[in-house]
A and B are shown apart, each in its own frame.
Chain A
Amino acid sequence: MQINLHQVTADYQAGPIRSPEILKSISTTVKSGSFTAVAGKTGSGKSSLLKLMNGLLVPVKGRVSIGEIMITSENAKQSVKEARQKVGMVFQFPESQLFAETVEKDIMFGPMNFGVPEAEAKQIALEVIKRVGLDASLLSKSPFSLSGGQKRYVAMAGILAMSPDILILDEPGAGLDPKGKKEVMDLLHAWHKERGLTTLLVTHDMDDVALYADEVIVMDGGRIVFQDNPERLFADMAAIHQWGLDLPQARKLQIRIEQEANVTLSQICLTLAQLADALIEAGLA
């Protein structure tokens, strides 16, 4: 499902302090079926951009289209609920949203809010919990009795159970060990592929961008300053520096090798496998 923003301006309210124009007249299109990473410094407007796509933030000016649904400041009340059914949002530390007596009820909460009958929601909960790699016996347990990692999977299952067409992920791996983080990312990426979803991922980890994303949006000072594929982004060192970003490990190593050996490899390498191939091609390995 395609997402389209047309000259969207949005304000942000934190407590009594209103920051006007946290997003300044943004226009962009996120292609249907793409896996788009959103990068940028803290306070650059990443979270606000994502909240716009879920109706949690309503544009002051301009319009947000999610498939056929259009959100503007005038029609927000009706359109937002439809939009939320299409868009699943996994917040940072999603385990903090768990509340029900049992894991099953917590997973059923989302679907039932959108009018799925109870019996069907139960069926969905069973499917989804297996899909995220947890044992079905956990369904009858209290979510608060689970381990931290399990809680995160249950919370994600609660979002996936809504079977959204668009998935918005805000650092889903935050606070996990590297192995746990990779498992979470792989799971979400696989889900994205299987269901043909449109996915947006906010991340500070450029290796995630390199590994999973086929498009990158870079935010700076409330504007989109870059939108293209990761190779293009990581080729432009000056821009990377200016926007406060980092490079993926493989690309860093590539630059180091290029400097030491005084060569230029044929391509921008984002993963170690690509780097290895490029080195063999150049006769350096």
Chain B
Amino acid sequence: MNKLILGRYFPGNSLLHRIDPRAKLLAGISFIFILFIANNWITYLVLWLFTFTMMKLSGVSIRIYIRGVRPLIWLILFTVSLQVLFTAGGEIYIDWGPVTISSFGLINGMYTFSRFTMIIFVSTVVTLTTKPIDLTDAMNYLLQPLKRLKLPVDEISLMLAIALRFIPIILDETQKVMDAQRARGTVFGEGSLPQQIKKIVPIFIPLFVSSLVRAEDMANAMEVRGYQSNNPRSSFRRLHWQKTDIAALIAMVLLAVILFILRTEGHHFH
């Protein structure tokens, strides 16, 4: 449970920590799109180099990133195996009717694996180096244009901020409740599937109850401080756009350009 690192913040003072959250968010999102430019091994190599550089720059040890991928490894392997088993073309190694393992399949599988892990790594870089509250501020800023469409942007970002704020608290609480039920003889991760599902009830109900209590406390605290949802608000934390932030975005554009130059024209594996 507490192995989950996606969405956790690691305090630090690396270059990446200091970049404006808006720049990081934009860069992170653009990376997902840039990923789809890559279509041969050299472009994937460039992307991997970029990813590892970012991971190094964040000052957080690689082990922690790898731990972040672990909870999703089955999903990734499932997708990869679909790619491997159902892509035809190239040299065929094993042929069981509709299921074949071909060279194209293996290559495609590797690309899929790379894409998944790089998305996780890079988004983890963003969340590990950015305070959740800064991230929501950035989101709020970037979503401002949607206000014209009558979208309640400020409320949405407040909800996000509150939700993010409570993730670590609820995780810690989950740990406590699990410990308490373990002490009463529950052994998690043992028994048949229905038995295991039944064991979740003694964790979820206490968590649910305490979350409701917490939500009500929070609502009351906001109410007595005179919170009104539709009032114009100023912000205690100001975001400062600096030269390094522009440099960061330029780096992303450069990455995209390099990939465009290096990618194979014409033939795709899909």
Which residues of chain A have a CB within 8 Å of any CB of chain B? 13-16, 51, 54, 56, 81, 84-85, 87-89, 91, 94, 96-100, 109-110, 113-114, 144, 158-159, 162
Jot down 18 A-B pairs with beta carbons below 8 A, ordered by A.
A15-B168, A56-B183, A81-B185, A88-B183, A89-B180, A91-B180, A91-B183, A96-B209, A96-B210, A97-B181, A97-B184, A109-B202, A110-B184, A110-B185, A113-B185, A114-B185, A158-B184, A162-B185
Using Cβ atoms and an 8 Å threshold, which residues of chain A touch B201?
99
Contact of A56 with B182 in the complex, beta carbons under 8 Å: yes
Residues B40-74 near A (CB distance < 8 A): 64, 67
Whether the pair B183, A16 counts as a contact (CB closer than 8 A) is no
* Interchain CA distance A88-B182 in the complex, whole Å: 11
Which residues on the A side are within 8 Å of B186 (C-beta)?
113
Closest-CB distance, B171 to chain A (whole angstroms) = 7
The SS class assigned to the B binding surface is helix
Does the CB pair A16–B206 fall under 8 Å? no
Least CB distance from A118 to B in Å reads 15
Interface centre among B2, B171, B201, B204 (most CB of A within 10 A): B2
Residues 80-125 (chain B) with a chain A CB within 8 angstroms = none
Contact with A along B169-200 (1 / 0, CB 8 A): 00111001101111111110000000000000
Residues from chain A with Cβ under 8 Å of B202 in the complex: 97, 99-100, 109
Point out the residue from A15, A91, A114, A162 that lies within 8 Å of B179, measured CB to CB. A91
Residues of B within 8 A of A81 (CB): 185, 187
Q: Please, which residues of chain B bring their CB within 8 A of the CB of A162?
A: 184-185
* B64 with A51: CB separation less than 8 A: no
Q: Which residues of A contact B179 (CB under 8 A)?
A: 51, 56, 91
B205 within 8 A of A: yes
B2 engages A113 (CB within 8 Å): no
Q: Is B5 an interface residue (CB 8 A)?
A: yes
Is the beta-carbon distance between B2 and A15 smaller than 8 angstroms? yes
> How many of chain B's residues touch chain A, expressed as a range?
20 to 34
- A15 contacts B171, C-beta separation under 8 Å: yes
Chain B residues whose CB sits within 8 angstroms of the CB of A84 once the complex forms: 182-183, 185
Bound-state CA distance A51–B201 (Å) is 23
B263 at the binding interface (Cβ < 8 Å): no
Give A54 to B181 CA distance when docked, in angstroms: 12
Q: Assess the B209–A97 pair: CB atoms within 8 A.
A: no
Indicate the member of B3, B171, B177, B180 with the most A CB atoms within 10 Å.
Answer: B180
Chain A residues whose CB sits within 8 angstroms of the CB of B183 once the complex forms: 54, 56, 84, 87-89, 91, 159
Distance between Cα atoms of A81 and B3 in the complex (Å)? 23
| Additional 7 contacts, C-beta under 8 A, given A88-B183, A99-B204 | A84-B183, A96-B206, A97-B206, A99-B206, A100-B202, A158-B184, A162-B184
Residues in B neighbouring A113, C-beta threshold 8 A: 184-186
A97 near B185 (CB under 8 angstroms)?
no
Q: B106 to nearest A CB, angstroms? A: 33
Partner of B205, one of A14, A94, A99: A99
Whole-angstrom CA separation of A87 from B183 in the bound complex: 8
A159-B184 in contact (CB<8A): yes
Establish whether residues A109 and B184, one from each chain, have CB atoms under 8 Å apart when the complex forms. Answer: yes
Please give the distance in Å from B4's CB to the nearest CB on chain A: 8
Q: Which residue of A lies closest to B208 (CB)?
A: A99
Q: 5 tightest CB-CB pairs across the interface, nearest first?
A: A113-B185, A97-B180, A99-B205, A110-B184, A89-B183
A16–B5 alpha-carbon span in the complex (Å): 6
Once the chains are docked, how many angstroms separate the CA of A94 from the CA of B179?
11
Which listed residue, B8, B180, B204, touches A96 by the CB 8 Å rule? Answer: B180
Q: In the complex, what's the smallest C-beta–C-beta distance from B162 to chain A, in angstroms?
A: 20
CB distance from A80 to the nearest CB of B (A): 8
Establish whether residues A13 and B2, one from each chain, have CB atoms under 8 Å apart when the complex forms.
Answer: yes
CB distance from B138 to the nearest CB of A (A): 23
Which chain A residue lies CB-closest to B63? A16
How far is the CB of B9 from the nearest CB of chain A, in Å?
10
Q: Which residue of A lies closest to B183 (CB)?
A: A89
A96 with B185: CB separation less than 8 A: no
